[in-house]
């Protein structure tokens, strides 16, 4: 590996119905880097994310994760390196208890029973939900479900956290907890979000996508000051930057 955890080179994808999802997308992300993907609905954010753990395979170009080409024969290693947290946590929580959900991926990796409990509890404690270990996932709040989904991924010790709209459906308190949690993680993070204040606070770098293309890539504070660019992409300057209150840009 040459110092980059994620390397996309002229990555393109056309859906089976002929719809172009992304076109000629190239970017790199380094260990520990937090990168926000922003853009209007249909800009290509989720399509791009799904190439980072092999949910989709490119129709053109290439992508590498932790030095591995994202191809079928490398999928187990790629998916361990890039932990995917989907927009709807119900897509990831399907076991009888939170403990079982976190243990599920570890068991699939062949973790021995003697090590299992320690690894599960460590992940739950890292995310701050050890007290929920015996709860049924469907009885959790949206914020608790999100935390449980993150714990299930963190337990696998990925090098990159890939997140799709992590603040979706969270109330303000749960959103604030999530921001505080993500700031404690040293993982590289690739986060697709419509929440531009969240992107500004959590991510040092922002990539703007529009019609399947990358149209801007740079320090978050600089990108979000480009009013004409944001308007062209049907975005707005984050409220905290408009008001001069709240979070300070990381750049």
Angle ∠(219,186,165) on CA atoms, nearest 5: 65
Of all residues in the chain, the percent with pLDDT exceeding 90 is 84
Residue that is written with structure tokens 């932790």 in the block: 66
DSSP state letter for 218: E
Evaluate whether residue 43 is within a structural domain: yes
pTM of the predicted protein model: 0.90
How many angstroms separate the CA atoms of 223 and 247, rounded? 16
Question: Taking the CA of residue 229 as centre, how many other CA atoms within 13 Å lie in the half-sphere pointing to its CB?
Answer: 16
Strand order in the sheet with 205-210: 82-85, 160-164, 188-192, 34-38, 205-210, 213-219
Evaluate whether residue 132 is within a structural domain: no
Mean pLDDT of 44-53: 95
pLDDT of residue 161: 94
Report residue 4's pLDDT band, with 50, 70 and 90 as the boundaries.
confident
Confidence check: pLDDT of 80 > 80: yes
Report residue 243's pLDDT band, with 50, 70 and 90 as the boundaries.
low
Residue that is written with structure tokens 């320690």 in the block: 118
Evaluate whether residue 213 is within a structural domain: yes
Domain count, the chain: 1
Residue that is written with structure tokens 């859906």 in the block: 15
Evaluate whether residue 106 is within a structural domain: no
Coil/strand/helix, residue 115: helix
Report residue 2's pLDDT band, with 50, 70 and 90 as the boundaries.
low
Q: Which of 1-5, 18-22, 34-38 has the lowest mean pLDDT?
A: 1-5
pLDDT of residue 114: 86
Evaluate whether residue 203 is within a structural domain: yes
Q: Which residues form the domain of 225?
A: 6-88+159-240
Evaluate whether residue 180 is within a structural domain: yes
**Segment 147-204, tens digit of pLDDT:** 999 999 999 999 999 999 999 889 999 999 999 999 999 999 999 999 999 999 999 9
Mean pLDDT of the chain: 92
How many angstroms separate the CA atoms of 58 and 47, rounded? 10
pLDDT of residue 244: 56
| Assigned token pair, 88 | 């709807």
Report residue 33's pLDDT band, with 50, 70 and 90 as the boundaries.
very high
Q: Contact at 8 Å (CB) between 116 and 124?
A: no
How many angstroms separate the CA atoms of 169 and 89, rounded? 11
CB atoms within 10 A of CB 91: 12
* Closest to 31 measured CA to CA, from 52, 53, 3: 3
Evaluate whether residue 22 is within a structural domain: yes
Give the CATH number, domain containing residue 215. 3.40.50.300
Report residue 19's pLDDT band, with 50, 70 and 90 as the boundaries.
very high
Evaluate whether residue 189 is within a structural domain: yes
How many angstroms separate the CA atoms of 211 and 216, rounded? 13
């Amino acid at each position: 590996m040459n110092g980059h955890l994620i390397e996309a080179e002229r990555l393109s994808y056309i859906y089976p119905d002929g719809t172009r999802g992304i076109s000629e997308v190239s970017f790199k992300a380094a260990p520990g880097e937090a990168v926000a993907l922003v853009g209007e609905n249909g800009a290509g954010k989720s399509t791009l994310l799904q190439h980072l753990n092999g949910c989709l395979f490119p129709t053109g170009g290439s992508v590498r994760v932790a030095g591995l080409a994202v191809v079928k024969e490398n999928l187990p290693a790629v998916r361990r390196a890039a932990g995917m947290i989907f927009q709807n946590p119900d897509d990831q929580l399907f076991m009888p208890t939170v403990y079982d959900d976190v243990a599920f991926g570890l068991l699939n990796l062949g973790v021995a029973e003697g090590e299992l409990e320690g690894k599960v509890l460590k992940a739950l404690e890292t995310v701050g939900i050890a007290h929920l270990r015996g709860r049924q996932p469907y009885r959790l709040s949206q914020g608790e479900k999100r935390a449980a989904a993150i714990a299930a991924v963190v337990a696998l010790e990925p090098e990159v956290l890939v997140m799709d709209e992590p603040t979706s459906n969270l109330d303000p308190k749960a959103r604030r907890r999530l921001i505080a949690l993500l700031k404690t993680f040293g993982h590289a993070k690739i986060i697709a979000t419509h929440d531009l204040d969240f992107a500004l606070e959590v991510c040092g770098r922002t990539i703007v996508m529009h019609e399947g293309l990358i149209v801007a890539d740079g320090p978050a504070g600089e990108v979000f000051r480009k009013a004409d660019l944001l308007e062209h992409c049907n975005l707005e300057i984050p409220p905290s930057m408009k008001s001069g209150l709240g979070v300070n840009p990381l750049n």
